[in-house]
Amino acid sequence: MKTLYKVVAFTLVAFLFESTLIYADQTSSFNRILLASAEKLPDNEGIVVSTLDTAGYTYMELENGSKRFWIAAPTTKVKIGDHIRFAESMTMHNFTSKTLNRTFNRLVFVTSTQVKVAQ
């Protein structure tokens, strides 16, 4: 019976320890995103906050310091938290995407994007 209690106690401690490590890793990643987004980056860069995909385009909401803005790029695989550098082509105000059925106050069309790798 003592052995059973030891096994149960060990399993519980191991589970709690593993859960804490997973949470710490997620918190660390989230904190890195927050720190990167709080810094003022060059005007042609930002941290991905959200994305919307359509045929031929990926719309990305980027954060740069205290500023948030949307860009539309040729279809790109990105995820939230990615650091993006882009080549601006043209900015449109009150642009309505019929595909998304949404109007963007300001949308920057870009010709290319690059995901910056963390150093």
Give Cα separations from 35 to 32, 40, 63, 66, 119 (angstroms).
5, 10, 11, 12, 14
Give Cα separations from 66 to 19, 45, 93, 106 (angstroms).
33, 13, 20, 16
So what's the pLDDT on residue 40?
78
pLDDT category at 68 given cuts 50, 70, 90 is very high
Q: In this predicted model, what pLDDT tens digit does every residue of 44-60 receive, in sequence order?
A: 999 999 999 999 999 99
Q: In this predicted model, what pLDDT tens digit does every residue of 71-99 receive, in sequence order?
A: 999 999 999 999 999 998 899 999 999 99
Q: Which helix (H) or strand (E) holds 32?
A: helix 2-38
Quote the tokens at residue 48.
């991905």
Task: Please state the pTM of the whole predicted model.
Answer: 0.66
Q: Which helix (H) or strand (E) holds 54?
A: strand 45-54
pLDDT category at 67 given cuts 50, 70, 90 is very high
Q: Which residues pair with 23 in a beta bridge?
A: none
